[in-house]
Structure 1
Amino acid sequence: MQRISVIGNISRDHIRYPDGRDGHYLGGAALHIALAAARAAPVAVIGDDLAPLTREPDLACLDWSALRRATGNSAAFAMDYDTHGTVHCTSAAYGVSHQLTTHALGHLARHSGDFYHLCCRRPLHVPALLSRLATAGARFSADFFLPSARPLLAAAAPWLPAADWIFVNAAEYRLLARTVDPAALNAVIVTDGPRPARLLHHARPVAEACPPTTTAVELTGAGDTLTGTFLARRLVGATPAAALEAAVTAAAHHTANRPLPLPALYRP
């Protein structure tokens, strides 16, 4: 399988729910997507606080060759979920992830044959990466995060028709459709919580998959798990429908499990 390089954050996440539950966990879209894809390479920058994560047994399947460690703190986010399951990012400290754009551009220059997934999140300079991917003729996909989706979709718009796949939830798709003509997009995967996920090809539905019923323990990372699973299945030749079915099943199972703990040497 073509290696998947996942460009994005690996972070310390403080997650709070309306029922009073909260906790500090290891997170970041790059980590969740790479884990779901298995043997993928997170292209990320972490600080001293997360240095032990490369020795965590649960993460041994990952290719850490594209991870950069820098002096300072890793990205840290506080996220609140409301009663509808919508996430709101209440604080962000980007730390050493400000170096991610430069690091990712260097990785792309050395490994243009990889398949790239771009987690379109701050502080990444999204146009710089997308323009370089397009110029290099690299295959790539992208996803967004609702709290920052509006400005980053606008920034990404000129290059989105070149993407193999774009991953959005229902609210993000509405923003996407106002920004780019959906008919110009090769493939868009639209999720909607427990409702069926849809695969659109140039705005036309071509596949749909309904997630199995589970008792949700944790919502964070479910969409990323869907993304990584879909990419891995498609890149080894699964049909779009089969890849979507596997992806929604993996995402549902993800919600039934406890989130990843922070590395043993770091506790808030």
Structure 2
Amino acid sequence: MSTSATNNGRLHTDEKCKQRKYQSFLFYQAVRDLKPVWMLEDMRTMETFYWEEDASQRSYTPSEALLYAIVHDHQAYAQYLLSHYTDEALAMPGERFCCCPSSAPHLAMAVRYDRRDILGLILQEAHRLPSLRSYMNRGGCFHMEDGKTPLHLACELLRSESVILLLGNGASPQAEDQNGMTPLDVILEQLWDSKVNIGPKKLCLDNLLMFMPEIRFKMKSALEGDPVCWSKVLGEDKFKYLVGQKPAPLFLMAMQTILRQLPPEQFPDSLDELPIPSSLKPLPCKQLGQLKVF
């Protein structure tokens, strides 16, 4: 083959790569601009987005498209993907999105970007799939999130509404990351490290305790080792409760008992239907109450 033909071949290949990259960006931009679902689906299934010559797949999967919908809060597209491709939408995306097959990147992304409506949609769909029975408690990517579950992440980012949604849908408050830290440990570290955002931190803590009748956490010995400082941080009653020196208040015990009876697959509707004043409910989303259990 002549040098001229080789160069022409390379130019043609480079031009194809540029075109595919440009078309790939167009799909991302279309999701960002909240284009209609039908248009996004036409673009998603076009076999033009992957520019690797040996790629077996040349269109975005529902899972990858859902990640884009979460990032840009395209609720209509997220709902479409979850209702029409539930298994595929919540399947692991390609390695360029996440490299840990046991994680739940869509939940983590919804928490990180504070997409509460889409978070609720994902949780509802996850209940319908037997294969996703442990979905809420999957640890995140060990390379990026130290194995934190979505609940760990919600506590770390002080997403109190997401904390309620995850707990009500069955997320375990006893789950540990790769360092043995529970979501309660994450909140306690937040309270100890800084006096900034004390209100949101204590609200996350109160919400967590209502779904946590059994107190088990790594930092208990740290609390016991410095009771004076921790009493100032938490308040004496809450400190004594966490270290086992005092029982829970009657209100907290009552709420723990009630919340344990609510079926996760019907949350938060089951919470709304409780025949108690709204001011006593740890309401999720836009109706979240500023409830203090101590």
Do these two structures clear the TM 0.5 threshold for a shared fold by scoring above it? no
The structure richer in helix per residue is 2
Decide which structure has the larger Cα Rg and report it: 2
TM-score by length of 1: 0.30
TM-score by length of 2: 0.28
The structure richer in strand per residue is 1
